[in-house]
Amino acid sequence: MILPKHKKVLKYLYITTHIKKEEVKKNDIAEYIEEPLSTAEEIIDFLIKEKYITNRFNLTNKGRKQIKVGLIGGVFDIVHIGHIATLKEARSKVDVLAVVIARDKTVEKFKNRKPVIEEKDRKEIIQSIRYVDIAILGSEEDFIKPVEKINPDIIFLGYDQILPPNLAKKIPPEMICRLNVRINDIKTTAIIQRIKEAGL
């Protein structure tokens, strides 16, 4: 039987070995779960014995099925309360929330403007939010690449978001979850306009 402590390790390994492609050691796991090394070793032994992970700490298909992974994408140029509320709602529905940050060139192409904040900084800002487990930069060539990398169980859309046509054709409708979180029509474009009007 999978307990919360087991799931916590599975989540960590999914993010670290599957998405980040980083090598993990037992000490890393012990540090993440804030337990003595002996406790971490007991959890690892159980997960390996029950075939939830491999000896190299990669999740098996059986292990992957124990966690629900959600993906949400966006520009997140000027982070506001609407973004925070949306991320909080998305995270409440999954075990792991991955956020894909639009690249600078993608923003210019679809928004007809340069982003106020550079992509690497937008990624760091979003990664620092407590509801986000992992933030990655999107692809400039093909929107499906980060989706394939994360391999989510569910894809979240904000109340005013739509999938790009080429991506919509590849995503089964049952994977999509529309989040109707809306706070006083707060939008980045309106914030930018107010800044311009204030002459800042």
Domains of the chain are 4-64 (1.10.10), 69-195 (3.40.50.620)
CB 147 within 8 A of CB 157: no
CB 35 within 8 A of CB 75: no
pLDDT at 78: 84
The percent of residues in the chain predicted with pLDDT above 90, rounded, is 73
* Range 125-153 average pLDDT: 95
d(CA 136, CA 127): 8
pLDDT at 157: 95
CB 126 within 8 A of CB 40: no
pLDDT at 192: 57
Tell me how far CA of residue 186 lies from CA of 85, 119, 173, 180, in angstroms: 11, 21, 27, 13
- Model confidence at 186, pLDDT cuts 50, 70, 90, reads low
Tell me the residue type at 106.
Answer: T
* Range 55-78 average pLDDT: 96
With 90 as the cut, is the pLDDT of residue 153 above it?
A: yes
159-168 confidence digits (pLDDT tens): 888 887 778 8
**C-alpha 194 chain-centroid distance:** 30
40-66 confidence digits (pLDDT tens): 999 999 999 999 999 999 999 999 999
Tell me how far CA of residue 44 lies from CA of 1, 34, 56, 100, in angstroms: 14, 14, 11, 30
Among 151, 136, 140, which Cα is nearest to 73's? 136
pLDDT at 198: 58
pLDDT at 92: 97
**To the nearest 10°, the Cα dihedral for 169, 170, 173, 175?**
-160
- The reported pTM is 0.90
pLDDT at 164: 79
Q: What is the 3-state secondary structure (H, E, C) of 140-172?
A: CCCCHHHHHHHCCCEEEECCCCCCCHHHHCCCC
- Model confidence at 197, pLDDT cuts 50, 70, 90, reads low
